[in-house]
Structure 1
Amino acid sequence: MTLVEVAVGLAILVGLVGIVVPVLPGTILIAGALLVWATESGDPTAWLVTGLALAVLAVGAVVKYALPGKQLKAAVPTETLLVGSLAALAGFFVIPVVGALVGFPIGVYVAERVRVGRTAAWPSTKAALRAMGVSLLIEFVAGLLATAAWLVGVTVV
């Protein structure tokens, strides 16, 4: 295993962490690391593996918005999601590293409490959290599949 492959492996690992903890753009970091590996390797197999892994990441990026988005729109209005997103952005700066994860549900709950009242606010908040979890899971699985492809590629090349 070369120094480049070790560095790429570390970048991919940091990218996987970045998917779960929204500090770094995880998927972009993984894609960049794969491109560095293919460029440095120069092997056609490395480019094939990178192309497949990038396709998996692209499909994951599309599905992570499409699938949970349909479920979410049925349960939570767009205005509430906007408030949750703004609260996540504010939380990101107020509480470094985990603030976005804290701010989003608080923002959704407050917006829903104003809109529908105390009793009905919690079910909407749970629906938003479920959709957020599904989205994160989809992106993480895509990252893991791309990582697995890279590991196979490193073994073959």
Structure 2
Amino acid sequence: MDLSDPRTTADLVAGLVVLLGLVGMVVPVLPGTLLVAVAIAGWAAYVGEPRGWALAGAALVVLAAGAGLKYLLAGRHLRGHGVPSSTLVVGGLLGIVGFFVVPVIGLPLGFVVGVYLSELNRVGSQQAWPATVAALKAVGIALLVELAAGFAAAALWLTGALIT
């Protein structure tokens, strides 16, 4: 591996940004999917080879599918447990507030607290906790789907980096 070669440097930079994006999918401070997509698209533009573009295109399709699928599956899970959209809106708003108030864990913490408080107000304490648990599971489902898409895209990029 010749670090003075610009192509090797491009591969390493893209790989580091992809890795940072994968971390960002778990730690909600970084825009993980966006980082992975930009790194792979930038790498393909730099390489400029048809095989690189084809694998980058496939990786971007996987990321887009994962982004859509995570909302679809999480929403289906929540609807299956009777959690209304209004509760999710309150959870989302408190998640945004939590993101700025408590570093790193504020977004999921605010979301959970928001869902619990909304359900507490809507149905009382007996049913609020099961809805909150369903919301936590939905967040976990979304995280796993996004991470799986990120790893699949990273594998496609790595394949491209090795064959181009």
Residue matched to 2:98: 91
Residue matched to 2:88: 81
Aligned pairs, number: 157
Counterpart mapping for 1:126-141 below 5 A: 126-141=133-148
User: What whole-Å deviation, never above 9, does each CA across 1:20-50 have from its counterpart, x for those lacking one?
Assistant: 1111211111110001111111111100110
Unaligned runs of 5+ residues in structure 1 are none
Runs of 4+ residues deviating >6 angstroms:
none
SS in 1 for 2:29: coil
**Which amino acid in structure 1 is aligned with residue 91 of structure 2?**
G
Matched, 1:119 2:126: yes
Unaligned runs of 5+ residues in structure 2 are 2-7
CA RMSD of aligned residues (A): 1.0
Alignment counterpart, residue 25 of structure 2, candidates 6, 13, 19:
19
Residue 82 of structure 1, CA deviation:
0.9
The alignment's TM-score, normalised by the length of structure 2, stands at 0.92
SS in 1 for 2:30: coil
Q: Distance in 2 between matches of 1:82 and 1:49?
A: 37
Alignment counterpart, residue 70 of structure 1, candidates 57, 76, 91:
76
**Which amino acid in structure 1 is aligned with residue 39 of structure 2?**
A
Calculate percent identity across the aligned residue pairs: 51
Residue matched to 2:153: 146
Residue 73 of structure 1, CA deviation:
2.2
Residue matched to 1:40: 46
The alignment's TM-score, normalised by the length of structure 1, stands at 0.96
User: What whole-Å deviation, never above 9, does each CA across 1:71-110 have from its counterpart, x for those lacking one?
Assistant: 2123211111111111100100101221001111111111
